Chain A
Amino acid sequence: MTLEQDLIVIGAGPAGISAAITASQHGLKVTLIDEAPIAGGQIYRATPQEWTPNTNGSPDQDLDDGNSLRDSLSKSNITHLTNHVVWAVAPGFEVRAVSDSKEIKLTAKKLIVCSGVTERILPFPGWTTPGVIGLAASTNLLKSQQILPSREPVIAGSGPLLYAVANAIIEAGGKPVAIADVGSLFDWVVSLPKLFAAPALLIRGLIWRARIFKARITVLHRHHVARVYGDDKVESIELMPIDANGTPLPKKKNIKIKSTSLIVGHGLIPSLEITRLLKAKHVFRAERGGWIPELDAFQRTSVSGLYVAGDCGGISGAKTAALSGTIAGLQASFDSGMITEKIFQDLYAPTESKRNKAERFGKRMGKLMSIRSGLLEGLTPETIVCRCEDITYGQIMDAVNAGAADCNEVKAWTRGGMGPCQGRTCGETIAEIVTRQVGDRDKAGFFTARVPLRPCTIDALAPVCSYDDIWNSDVAKVATAILPAENTEYKNSKK
Chain B
Amino acid sequence: MNAKTHSLGRFDITVVGGGVMGCSTALPLARAGLKVAVFDRRGLGLEASGRNAGSLSPMIKKSELVAHAIEGYQMWMSSKDWLGADIGAHTKPGMIVAYNQTEAEALERLVTDRCANGAKIELISGKKAIEKEPQLSSGITLAAYSEVDGHGESNRTGQVFNIALDQAGADIFSHCDVQRIEDKNGHFEIHTDKGIAYSTKIVLAGGAWLEGMASWLGFSLTVQYKVNQMIVTERAPTLVRTVLGVQNGLLTLKQATNGTIVIGGGWQGHGDLENGAWHIEPEAVVRNLQLARYVIPQIKDLRVVRTWLGLEAVLPDYLPAVGAVPDVEGAYVIGCCRGGWAIGPCLGSLLADFILDRELKLPIFDPGRKIDAKPFAAAGSASKGM
Contact = CB atoms under 8 A, between A and B. Distances in A.
B305 A480 contact: no
Interface stretch (B5-13, B196-204, B291-299, B355-363): B291-299
A87 B304 CA distance: 10
A395 to B, nearest CB: 11
A103 B304 CA distance: 14
B106 A467 contact: no
B209 interface: no
A479 B308 contact: no
Contact of B226 (A96, A463, A482): A482
B46 A482 contact: no
A473 interface: yes
Interface stretch (A74-82, A136-144, A180-188, A403-411): A403-411
B368 to A, nearest CB: 22
A190 interface: no
A455 B303 contact: yes
A479 B42 CA distance: 28
A418 B306 contact: yes
Given A405-B43, A420-B234, A470-B294, A483 B305 contact: no
Contact of A90 (B110, B265, B282, B291): B282
B327 to A, nearest CB: 30
Contacts of A296: none
B307 A452 contact: yes
Which label, helix, strand, loop or mixed, suits the secondary structure of the B interface? mixed
Q: Give the most central of B45, B158, B300: most A CB within 10 Å.
A: B300
B377 interface: yes
B304 A455 contact: yes
Contacts of B277: 91, 279
Nearest to B384: A478
A189 interface: no
Contacts of A486: 106, 109-110
Interface string B241-268: 0000001111000000010000001111
Residues of B in contact with A, size category:
35 or more
Interface stretch (B66-74, B97-105, B182-190, B346-354): B97-105
B302 interface: yes
Given A405-B43, A420-B303, A493-B102, A481 B175 contact: no
A422 B100 CA distance: 39
Contact of A475 (B103, B172, B233, B268): B268
Contact of A480 (B172, B249, B299, B306): B249
Interface in B134-167: 155-156, 158-159, 162-163, 166
Contact of B267 (A88, A461, A465, A479): A479
A53 interface: no
A402 B163 contact: yes
A412 B50 contact: yes
A404 B43 contact: yes
Interface string B197-240: 00000000000000000000000000010100000011000000
A409 B46 CA distance: 7
Contacts of B250: 470, 476, 479-480
B117 interface: no
Residues of A in contact with B, size category:
35 or more
Interface in A224-242: none
A406 B300 contact: no
Q: Give the most central of B224, B277, B286, B338: most A CB within 10 Å.
A: B286
Q: Give the most central of B248, B268, B308: most A CB within 10 Å.
A: B248
B290 interface: yes
Given A415-B258, A455-B305, A476-B267, 7 more contacts: A412-B158, A418-B305, A458-B300, A469-B290, A479-B265, A480-B249, A490-B103
Interface of B: 42-43, 45-46, 50, 62, 99-100, 102-103, 105-106, 109-110, 155-156, 158-159, 162-163, 166, 172, 174-175, 224, 226, 233-234, 247-250, 258, 265-268, 276-277, 279-287, 289-294, 299-308, 318, 338, 376-377, 379, 382-383, 386
14 contacts: A90-B281, A91-B277, A409-B158, A412-B45, A412-B50, A413-B156, A419-B305, A420-B303, A456-B304, A462-B286, A467-B99, A479-B268, A488-B249, A490-B103
